[in-house]
């Protein structure tokens, strides 16, 4: 049996093991599930070592780039989490990660999620030279953004005008959630089609 054929059979049997969960939890599913955990953990360990740790840390230290001693020390501190007595040292590494992430996020999020979104929403509604539906869509987007924000504004009771605007926001949000749900379902269905095609075409050769 060639390696390729063995691989196809293995993949097909594991696919069936996972599908067997549709009936109920069973030993075949449990076997595939535990195998997946082990293989996945091993894969990511090797991937991280060869693509992150080796080129970024080990190679640099071997080239006598001594500034990489700091991430080495912080990494060692991170691993101290496994030893309860000195586990508190891992906080230093976590603090570095969280602090640098927070510093980066402030500007990044304000720029991409706040300013850019407002800039794209506040477009000119001047109909000169533009088809009517473009202007209408721009106006609807503006209404949707403002009413959606009002819905998420909890410092004022949603009564009267605020309540009315918030209700319009709910309409936009529901359409958005529906669209996202439809997209998610279609993504899962396409994966299912992919697995079925694998079983019927690659494995059994029926289609």
CB of residue 194 to another protein, shortest distance in Å: 6
The strand ranges marked E within the chain are none
Contact between 123 and another protein by CB under 8 A: the answer reads no
How many angstroms from the chain centroid is the CA of residue 74?
27
CB of residue 129 to another protein, shortest distance in Å: 20
Burial 152-167 (b: 16+ CB within 10 A, else e): eeeeeebeeeeeebbe
Contacting another protein (CB under 8 A), which of 181, 197, 201, 204?
A: 181
DSSP helix/strand/coil, 152: coil
Letters for 80-119 (x = contact with another protein by CB under 8 A, - = none) are -xx-----x--xxxxxxxxxxxxxxxxx-xx-xxx--xx-
Contact between 31 and another protein by CB under 8 A: the answer reads yes
Contact between 28 and another protein by CB under 8 A: the answer reads no
CB of 135 within 8 A of CB of 125? yes
Contacting another protein (CB under 8 A), which of 34, 156, 197, 201?
A: 34
Q: Which residue has the tokens 């006598």?
A: 64
CB of 186 within 8 A of CB of 194? no
CB of residue 156 to another protein, shortest distance in Å: 15
* Token pair of 184 as six digits: 């998610």
Contact between 61 and another protein by CB under 8 A: the answer reads no
CB of residue 201 to another protein, shortest distance in Å: 14
Nearer to another protein by C-beta: 164 or 177?
A: 177
């Amino acid at each position: 049996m060639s390696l390729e054929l063995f691989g196809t059979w293995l993949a097909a049997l594991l696919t069936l093991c996972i599908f067997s969960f549709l009936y109920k939890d069973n030993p075949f599913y449990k076997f595939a599930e535990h195998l997946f955990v082990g293989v996945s953990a091993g894969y990511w360990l090797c991937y991280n070592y060869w693509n992150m740790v080796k080129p970024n840390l080990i190679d640099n230290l071997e080239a006598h780039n001594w500034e990489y001693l700091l991430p080495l020390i912080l990494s060692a501190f991170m691993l101290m989490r496994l030893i309860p007595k000195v586990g508190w040292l891992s906080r230093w590494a976590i603090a570095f990660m969280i602090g640098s992430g927070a510093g980066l996020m402030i500007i990044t999020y304000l720029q991409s999620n706040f300013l850019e979104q407002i800039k794209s929403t506040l477009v000119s509604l001047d109909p000169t030279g533009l088809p009517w539906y473009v202007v209408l869509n721009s106006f609807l987007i503006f209404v949707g953004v403002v009413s959606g924000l009002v819905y998420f504004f909890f410092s004022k009771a949603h009564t009267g005008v605020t309540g009315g605007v918030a209700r319009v926001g709910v309409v936009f949000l529901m359409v958005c959630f529906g669209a996202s749900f439809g997209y998610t379902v279609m993504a899962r269905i396409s994966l299912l089609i992919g697995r079925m095609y694998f079983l019927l075409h690659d494995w059994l050769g029926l289609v």
